[in-house]
Structure 1
Amino acid sequence: MKIKYNSIFFMFGLCTTYAQNQCDIIRKVLEELTSNTIDFPKNKESLLHCCGVDYIGCKGNGKIFNIELNGDILNIKNNVPESLTQLVDIERIAFINNKYEKLTIPNFLNKFPKLDTFEVTDSQIFNEIPESIGEIKNLKSLVFVNDNIKGPIPESLGSLTNLESLYLENNIISGSIPNSFGNLKNLQILTLKNNKLGGSIPTDLIKLKKLEVIELSGNALTEEIPEDLGDLDKLRILDLSNNQLTGSLPESITKLKKLEKLYLGYNNFYGTVDFANELPSLKEIELNNSGLFGILPNFSKNVTKCSFSEQDICIEKKPTCASTDSPCTPELHKKVEEFNKYEKSRKRNEGIFSSSKIIISLIIIIIPLIGIVIFLRVYKWYSLKKENDLLIKQIERINSKNLYYDSEITLNDLDFTKPI
């Protein structure tokens, strides 16, 4: 029993010493950050007790796993020193409400082997996301919100294959959405709204079968929505509003049976809103100035919010999701009928065109084959003719010299199995 108690006291002493060292490290880091002396409260053994501070999280064994550098509590005046990497058990680092204008994103975050959350919100960054972020292999959540982040999204983010949520909203990020995002196989939430992103929506996003939220509003995205969008059957929220997207909505959108919120307003789409009949889980829909038109279904009570341009879209009966009636005018009915006729004609022509393309493709394949066959036949004929001409010359030479026969010989007299 005595040995057992001694072991317990020994282990307790080790844990206490380890926790004390952790507190010493974080105290020095905070003093470098703030250029002030940091005094943690002390416990009854007169040891530093940093785990009792709101912005530091510790586990039961005294290991620091969470640091929240909040500008409302800490007046940060310098960048994070690399000595912070001595805290190898860190799982979450957050910068919140920091007004230090020279604050930069540390380029040594990949040295935290357990880091799974990095968050910067309401801070004055004014620089780009470093490529080194893509080296934090265990990262599950990456957040940059209201930070004035600029420049393009680094392709290296596509290496974060464990990432589950990505928030890059309310910044001044430019460029396009990287195709490398197609590698984020565990991503569930993608929020890039209110930036300066351009280009098209990458078709590689359709590979992300776990996606539940896509928010790309408030950018300058162009071209059409990817045709296979409906393959993202777990999608609950789709916000593409306030862009410059064009074309008709893909027919596959009706496969989004779990979709609850759909925002498509302020784009340049063209087509009817018939797809809304096929979305049974819908609760909110916003189509203002989307370019879409037509007659919406009589939504069930589950749809609590609907917004649309009344000159283009109507609901036959008074909607439960809007405060006013939106009567369907004869002009709108006529517009829908004309569009449906146009669509039927277009699809029929597409079918004819597709058949023509197949026929043309076959012709393109067959003509060269016929040419090859003709060439081979001509070549064979030419080769045989050449051989015959050569044999005739040999016979003429033999006859002229009269080497073996007293009379003239012909082709029929020769035995071609033996050399001449």
Structure 2
Amino acid sequence: MMPIPRPTRGKSRGKVQIAARGVECYNNTGHVIGLDLGSSYLYGSINSSSSLFRLVHLQRLSLAENFFHYYKIPSAIRNLSKLTSLDLRFSSFSGEIPSEIFELSHLEYIDLSRNSLKLQKQGFYILAEKLTKLSELYLSDVKISSRVPAVLANLSSLAALILKNCSLHSELPTGILQLPNLKHLSLELNPDLAGYIPNIHGSYPLMELSLANTNFSGQLPESIGKLKSLQLLDINHCRFEGSIPTSIANVSQLTYLSLSTNNFSPRPLSWLGKQTKLNFLDLIKTNLYGNIPPSARNLTKISELYLGCNQLDGQIANWIGDLTHQTLLKLQENKLVGPIPQSISRLENLILLDLQSNFLNGMRGCSLRMINFAQNQLQGKIPRSLAYCTMLEALNLGKNQIYDTFPFWLGVLPNLKVLVLRSNRLHGAIRKPQSSSEFSKLQIIDISDNNLGGELLLGYFNIWNAMKVANAGNLSCMNATTGFQKFSWSDYYRYSIELTNKGVELEYESVQDSFTAIDPSNNKFNGEIHEDIRNLKAVNMLNLSNNNLTDHISSSLANLTHLESMDLSRNKLSGEIPQQLVQLTFLSFFDVSHNRFKGPIPSGRQFSTFDTNSFLGNLGLCGSPLPKKCGIPDESSGQDPLNSEEDKGIGSLFAFDWKVVLVGFAAGLIIGMPLGCNFINRKHGRFLMVLGNKQLRRREKKRRHKFCF
């Protein structure tokens, strides 16, 4: 071990002398009784021959937050027979926890969490039977893979029991929840661990109870209101049922409450408002109905408020503007009506606002990082006040009734990365940009399913700078940064995208920071695909389908070397498909069907994985995978490919012969990675960005997998 040198200085503290930083000695004998080397940059091996294990008078030992190269905990730990406190958390130990630890009968505090450790068979039972003085036990991420032994309920002095993500199973002995001194209990992320919350008799000191992502079920007892000291209650993603007890209104010390995604029966929110210390409230998918009660305005300390995926109705009250903390507010997928209140514009610290899928009919300007008003009843024009939202990074107004021209004035927003305006009534031509700085950070644009026309995005391919240079090494998810702390969208707001990708509408739960996509499909754009598109070398997905594009496609498309999905179907494109496109080695989906192409289909590399559906409706094309051989006349060559009988039948149009080809699958992994930034149980979120082909969605609707977190 190689610790960083620390200065030594003596300091008397009763009968204990601080001989050096992190070292405590008994004054009378000079014996070392405390050693705190936590976060000391220790690295290397540690074994039973270490001089550490000669400190036989040691009572407190911390080696936490160091790096021991996944060595085992040495068996010589048995020499430290006087230990009362052992802290080895997050220090890269591995292997089985040595049975010698169970011989340290004076232990009151053990923390072995955040290592690659596991307990031997019957190890949990032996630990609970022998270490009878335990008051705090932390074993998070230790692989226990057993039931929780009933003997653990005999440890009457136990105040903290943290068993997060331990592969526990069977049913938790109810006696553990009734331990008289228990203040902190966390069993979360043990999906095979069952149990229920018993009736509470008398007074319990419980301050934190987390059962999230377990198999706990039954009803929450009305007596839960007796837990006067409870500050954290997290039971999200369990199987609780019955009504949310109104007595929860009496738990006035709560700062964190998550009841989301259970099987609760319908109930209004009348119990909310007395918990004035609440900082975090998650009631997503809890079968709530009725209005948001006026008493909710008492939650003046709230910073995260999630009420989405319920049946709440009525208007959003003006008191919403009284929230003063940095706030994430999600009211999506309810039945809220009326205008978005003016008071929202006063929320200077509002970071995220999600009102998607309600019946709202107005909106205001704001100082948000993200806005999601998708799937409402917004009408009229997009308010110019949004141009003052200089911190805005993502704007989703999709699936509304907005009647407006393309909001070119949003180009002044210096941080805008995502713009979703799909499925509205946008119309007219998109004028050329007036400045090279417009939309300079834009990475994802979806203006599909509108009535836009004119030349295709004329001039914009030159100025979308964020799409020009690929950042393949960036595996992080998109995030917003506040003045005080960093809020990651992947942690605090599950950022999902619906993509008609590779001909199928898929849904991804988060977006890699380097992902780029362009979707102006299902409009009336005409003219050619301009040569300037060659600048957008970082684009991953391009969907230009269902427009009136003409002329040939340039070989310059081969410059889009990160392209993984390209859909040019249902246009009036002609000429040959450039052979240079075989250079797009990441391309796993390609569709040029129902155009006027002719000549040989490029061969080799990815093109060997595309089937006939990619080329249908181009009677002049020949070569594999089509049955028509090049150089042999086609008897049906006089037929107009855009008015053929084949074009009239929807069943024929969308009869995909979907298959997985080895090479295509390998490339497809690439597009999965930019979109599928994984995250661990941060239970909120839908930020729907929809990029896709409406007709294909109708055909492939049964392939969709929608979730509400």
Which TM-score bucket, shorter chain as reference? 0.5 to 0.7
CA contact (8 A) 1:190 1:213 kept: yes
Within a 5 Å distance, the mapping from 1:223-242 to structure 2 comes to: 223-234=314-325, 236-242=327-333
Structure 1: distance between partners of 2:122 and 2:202: 26
Task: Look up the match of 2:280.
Answer: 189
Structure 2 matches for 1:200-219, cutoff 5 A?
A: 200-219=291-310
- Verify the 8 A CA contact 2:237 2:260 in the aligned structure 1: yes
1:140–1:163 CA contact under 8 A, matched in 2:
yes
The answer for the alignment partner of 2:373 in structure 1 is 287
Aligned to 2:391: 302
Asked if 2 retains the 8 angstrom alpha-carbon contact of 1:56 and 1:67, the reply is no
Tell me: CA distance 1:110–1:291, structure 2 relative to 1, closer, same or farther (3 Å): farther
Cα distance in 2 for partners of 1:216, 1:153 equals 14
Instruction: Identify if the C-alpha distance between structure 1 residues 37 and 122 changes in structure 2 by more than 3 Å, giving closer, same or farther.
Output: closer
- Output aligned runs, 1:236-385, within 5 Å: 236-271=327-362, 273=363, 275-276=364-365, 279-280=366-367, 282-293=368-379, 294-296=381-383, 297-298=386-387, 302-309=391-398, 312-313=401-402, 315-317=407-409, 319=411, 320-323=416-419, 329=427
| TM-score, length of structure 2 as denominator length | 0.37
Q: Deviations over 1:308-349 (max 9, x none)?
A: 12663463435534357789648xxxxxxxxxxxxxxxxxxx
Displacement after TM superposition at 1:189 (Å):
1.1
Q: Aligned partners of 1:53, 1:250: CA distance in 2, in Å?
A: 47
Between the aligned partners of 1:235 and 1:177, the Cα distance in structure 2 is: 27
Q: Which residue of 2 aligns with 1:112?
A: 204
Shift of 1:283: 0.4
Q: How many residues align?
A: 300
Structure 1: stretches of 5+ with no match in the other structure? 24-33, 58-62, 331-420
8 A contact 1:161–1:186 mirrored in 2: yes
1:80 corresponds to which residue? 174
CA distance in 2, matches of 1:209, 1:41: 43
**1:66 matches 2:160:** yes
2:228 to 115, 137, 154: 137
1:211 partner letter: I
Q: Which moved more, 1:291-300 or 1:118-127?
A: 291-300
What does residue 333 of structure 1 align with? none
Q: 1:225, 1:117 → 2: CA distance?
A: 32
Indicate whether 1:99 and 2:192 are aligned.
Answer: yes
What is the root-mean-square deviation in Å for CA atoms of aligned residues? 4.0
Measured at CA, do residues 37 and 116 of structure 1 come closer, stay the same or move farther in structure 2, by a change above 3 Å?
Answer: closer
How far 1:196 moved relative to its partner?
1.7
User: Residues 121 and 143 of structure 1 are in contact (CA less than 8 Å); yes or no, is this contact kept in structure 2?
Assistant: yes
Q: In the aligned structure 1, how far is the partner of 2:137 from the partner of 2:372? A: 47
Q: Which runs of 5+ in 2 are unaligned?
A: 1-14, 16-26, 34-58, 60-81, 86-103, 110-120, 143-156, 429-709
The 8 Å contact of residues 217 and 242 in structure 1, kept in 2 or not, is answered as yes
Which protein has the larger Cα radius of gyration, Structure 1 or Structure 2?
Answer: 1
137 and 145 in structure 1: CA distance in 2 versus 1, 3 angstrom threshold: same
1-structure distance, mates of 2:343, 2:277: 22
1:98-125 Cα offsets, whole Å, 9 max, x none, are: 4245x11133486432x21111111122
Q: 98, 115, 125: which is aligned to 1:38?
A: 125
2:276 partner letter: K
Q: 1:290: Cα distance to partner?
A: 1.6
Cross-structure match for 1:383: none
Structure 1 SS opposite 2:248: helix
For the 8 Å contact 2:376–2:399, the answer to whether it is kept is no
Deviations 1:20-43 (A, max 9, x none): 5979xxxxxxxxxx999712299x
2:265 to 150, 174, 198: 174
**Counterpart residue identity of residue 65, structure 1:** A
Look up the SS of the partner of 2:187 in the other structure: strand
Note the C-alpha offset of 1:161. 1.3
Question: Could you tell me how far apart the structure 1 residues matched to 2:341 and 2:202 are?
Answer: 40
User: Could you tell me whether the CA contact under 8 Å between 1:153 and 1:178 is conserved in 2?
Assistant: no
Contact 1:56–1:66 under 8 Å retained in 2: no
Per-residue deviation at 1:198? 1.3
Tell me, yes or no, if the aligned pair for 1:298 and 1:315 is still in contact at 8 Å. Answer: no
Distance 2:105 2:292 in 1: 48
Which residue is equivalent to 1:384? none
Contact 2:370 2:394 survives alignment (8 Å): yes
Aligned partners of 2:338, 2:419: CA distance in 1, in Å?
30
Q: 2: distance between equivalents of 1:56 and 1:67? A: 13
Q: Match of 2:161, SS? A: strand
Separation (CA, whole Å) in 2 of partners of 1:127 and 1:224: 34
Residues 311 and 244 of structure 1: CA distance in aligned 2, closer, same or farther (over 3 Å): closer
Amino acid at match of 1:104: Y
SS at match of 1:204: helix
With the length of structure 1 as denominator, give the TM-score of the two structures. Answer: 0.61
| Cα offsets for 1:98-156 (capped at 9, x unmatched) | 4245x11133486432x211111111223221122211111111101110222222111
Identity %: 21
Q: Write 1 or 2 for the structure with the bigger share of helix.
A: 1
The superposition leaves residues 244-264 of structure 1 with CA deviations (integer Å, 9 ceiling, x where unpaired) of 111222222222111110001
Contact 2:137 2:161 in 1 (8 A): no
Q: Deviations over 1:339-380 (max 9, x none)?
A: xxxxxxxxxxxxxxxxxxxxxxxxxxxxxxxxxxxxxxxxxx
Paired residue secondary structure (1:99): strand
- SS of 1:133's equivalent in the other structure is helix
Equivalent residue of 2:242, what SS? strand
Q: Distance in 2 between matches of 1:77 and 1:246?
A: 44
Query: Residues 291, 112 of structure 1: CA spacing in aligned structure 2 closer, same or farther, 3 A cutoff?
Result: same
Match of 1:54? Answer: 139
Contact 1:120 1:143 in 2 (8 A): yes
Is 2:276–2:301's contact at 8 Å kept on the other side of the alignment? yes
Residues 145 and 83 from structure 1, CA distance in 2 versus in 1: closer, same or farther, beyond 3 angstroms?
closer
* Contact 2:302/2:325, CA 8 A, preserved across alignment: yes
- The equivalent residue for 1:27 is none
Specify the SS of the correspondent of 2:345. helix
Contact 1:136–1:160 at 8 Å: present in 2 too?
Answer: yes
Q: 1:252 to 1:171 in 2, by over 3 A?
A: same
Q: Distance in 1 between matches of 2:131 and 2:337?
A: 65
Structure 1 residues 56 and 310: alpha-carbon distance in aligned structure 2, compared to 1, 3 A threshold? closer
Alpha-carbon distance in structure 2 between the residues aligned to 1:157 and 1:111 = 15
